[in-house]
Each structure stands twice: as C-alpha cells, then as structure tokens.
Chain A
C-alpha cells in the first residue's frame, strides 16, 4: 500500500480525497494554481505545490507540472479526481511509467470507454443495450444528415471525446442539425481536443440513471446501486438521488447486471460509473457511456451503503481488498445531492466573484462537500461547482424534508448561487412526486 498520494485536482473533490487519504494514514499532497491558493483543500493537505497560473491548461491539465510536483514531493501515487486528467489514458500511462501508482482503471480500459463511439460499439457486442446511433465519427454535415436519416430524429449531437454534458445539443430536424453541427465540432475541438462527433437517437422524457461499479483486484465487478441524475440544465447535472424513484426493482436488477457485464467486458478496476437512459413507462434502458473515474455525485451512494468509495479506490489501487464484504452490500434509506453552483438561479448564467459569506447547514443526515469558504474568489477558469449539499433520510420524504431545511439554512453571499433554484426544485410537484425526467428543469423555467 502506498504511503503518499498526490491529488491532481482542485476544489471540493481534492478536499474530499485528501480527507479520506489522511484518515487512512496516507500523506496527502495537493496541487494548486495561482487562483486557488486560499481554497480550503490547499491548507488541509500535508503538503501543497503551486503548479501554474489560473488557466487549467497551464496548471491542472499540465501533465508535466503535475508529474513534476509528484517527483518533487516524493508522491507514491496520483489520484486524478474527476474531469481534468482523470480520463486521460496517456497521462495514466505516464504516471505508471514514472513508477507511481495510478488511482484509477488501467489506461487500456480508460481508452476503451473514453471514446463514446467505441464504447457504444464495444458495449453492444458485450450484450449491453445501446440507443440507435453512429458507429463511426461523423466528419461533415452531409454525413451527419445521412446518419440522422438512418437513426431517426430527434438526435443528440455529442463530442465523441466529450464528457460532463459539455458541447451536447439536440436536433429535431435536418435544419437544426445543419445549424448545430459546426458549433458542436468546434466545441468538441476546443474542450476535448478532438472534433469527432457522434449522433444518437434522442430519447424524450428519459430518466438519466447511472450505476456505480467497483472493479476489484480479483477481477470481480460489483454494482453498488443506481443514481437518478435527471435534473439537468444545459445537459449538466444539478441534482441527483438514490434510489431512483423511476426504476422498479426489476429494472434495477437488469441495469445493475448490465453494468457488471460492462465493467467485466473492459476489465475494469476501481470506481467507475455506467450511465444509461431509462424509459420509466416502458421500463427499457440503453447504455449511454461509461465514466472511468469517481463521479461528482458519488456521496449519495456512500450515504446509503455506508461505503467510502474514495477509500475503496485507494485500497484497490494499492493492490488490496476492499474494506467491506463484497457479497453483502446493503442499502439503507434515501439520499439526495444538490449541486451548489456559482450561477444565478433564474437563467443559470455564471456568477464569479469573492465569497463574502459562507455558512453551511448541518444536522442529522446532512453532509456538505465544499470546495470554497468565505474570503475565496470564484474565478471564471473552472466549472461553477462550489459545494455539494448531500442529504440522507430513512425515506425519500424524510430526505426531501431535511433537504428543504438545509437549503434554507445554506447562506452564500458574493457570487449568486442556484440555492433558490434548489428550493424551487424541492417545492415543485414534479420533483416531489418522483415522477420527473430529463426535461424537468426546462418545465420549471417555462
């Protein structure tokens, strides 16, 4: 088992990983950019290294700088968090070549599922259902139109190398496809370094349901329940819950089994997530993509299972067994996560600025994973996530009751936040009923 780990990330996830690493007696090393020096995670690490100016390309995405920091501090392992270099197979290979332990799946598995087109084809062969879509990158508008004709409208235009809901758009007809295609390509190039596009049949009124998997060192793959992530704005998740109120026990069993097959098919190790779209009415589901990393919303799975997923990541990376009996994963109660973003609650536009007040809620079932505190500046260089407000209850009703109180008690001044939106969401009939789908936010904003 390695005795030190460099966390190649920032904000709330860096803080979260550092917390578990230190609890396990592993020396935790933080890296930070010139914009992040006073964020809480930097002070909570055993050691912190400045790795570059604010722009991510010159700091958190700079493999040279991160590896340099690892060498200088004698870090024995690197945990990449999510985003940034987490799903960069080349970086993972460099870490391993440098003699360090990579806390994540093997580079080959990252590559296998990192390209969404390849992942779809691969999963289909492994007997996992996929939505109608492209099997090869779509390189120009003419090809896109031909493909869409075959798949059927409406289609979703996605970056093949993409993630995080970035750069996705829907096209209901050929005109919209023509209009959206070039923008999608340039966004894909800008955000992910590759202009490759895929088209997929857009399933309306779907629920976005994902399965948490753990690949053990003995090659077993465990499925640790599902999370419903249908509350989204601009195709990015805003709130998640587990169990999914839209999934029957029978559908759950089928999805978890498919997720295990998906993990086994790529020889997965460590924590990963298999994302799917489920049709609550027909109780059908399709594979969307697999994320070869820890996810933002992992805490809700932790709250219902009692399992520390970051701890399992570190244990698995260290070559050992997980900390719980794999054959008996139990789930108790219901958990919800509300992502607190630095954006205005009406139009969800970014709201950078200095935080002048920061007061977190507390109480039974409440967990706040925060990346910022009073005095910190929220800059435009990174995503708008300030904190995750996670709430557990014995039942969904209790979890939501606690969540409403927690949102009311959470005070952030300076940048605008979407806390008032969360209050609205929790008060809405649609969300409270549990019968919502991926267009719930659009309906609340109509």
Chain B
C-alpha cells in the first residue's frame, strides 16, 4: 500500500481521480494550488485508488494524506 501525502501547505484545487479508479504510475490524482501555482500530485505506483482523503477546497498541511493506492 502506498500513501500519497502533501509535500507542502496548499489548497486542493481539483480532484482528478476517484475512489475505486485504477491508476498508473504518473497519473495525476489531484491538483493542488499554492501561491498561484498549480502543483499536480502524481501517483508513483500503479494500483487501485482505495482512499481519497481530500475534497476540492480543502487546505492540506505538509504531510497530510491525500490518497492511498493498493
């Protein structure tokens, strides 16, 4: 199981993937926005997105869980 976590404090701008999706290495899961810059959060492994822990409009802190892939 891989946990995808936020690398910095940011706003969740767009949720691109959904729970239950099959994801591949390199797929964009969500797009964060910080200081007017868009930061895509990418899956670094292939599998099923078993948990999506954020919604559009959320603010995430560094280290917050974004998704789990199994």
Contacts from A to B (Cβ < 8 Å): 55, 164, 166, 190-191, 234, 342-343, 349-353, 379-384
Contact = CB atoms under 8 A, between A and B. Distances in A.
Contacts of B37: 234, 349-350, 384
A350 B11 contact: no
Interface of B: 8-11, 13, 33-37, 39, 59
Interface core residue of A164, A234, A350, A381 (most chain B CB under 10 Å): A350
Nearest to B36: A383
Nearest to A236: B36
Given A191-B36, A382-B36, 5 more contacts: A353-B9, A383-B35, A383-B36, A384-B35, A384-B36
- Nearest 7 pairs between A and B by C-beta? A380-B34, A350-B34, A350-B35, A384-B35, A352-B9, A380-B10, A380-B9
A349 B9 contact: no
Given A379-B9, A380-B10, A352 B36 contact: no
Contacts of A381: 11, 35
Contacts of B13: 190
Contacts, number: 42
A250 B11 CA distance: 48
Contact of B8 (A191, A350, A382): A350
A34 to B, nearest CB: 12
B13 to A, nearest CB: 8
A352 B36 CA distance: 12
B32 to A, nearest CB: 8
9 contacts: A342-B35, A351-B8, A352-B10, A352-B34, A379-B9, A380-B35, A380-B59, A381-B11, A382-B36
A383 B35 CA distance: 4
Nearest to A166: B36
B18 to A, nearest CB: 19
B5 to A, nearest CB: 16
A415 to B, nearest CB: 9
B57 to A, nearest CB: 9
A351 B35 CA distance: 9
Contacts of A352: 8-10, 34-35
B7 to A, nearest CB: 9
B9 A382 contact: no
A350 B62 CA distance: 12
B26 to A, nearest CB: 17
A55 B11 CA distance: 10
Nearest to B8: A352
Nearest to B37: A350
Contacts of B8: 349-352, 380
A350 B39 CA distance: 9
Residue from B11, B36, B37, B39 with most neighbouring chain A CB atoms (10 Å): B36
A350 B13 CA distance: 15
Contacts of A350: 8, 10, 34-35, 37, 39
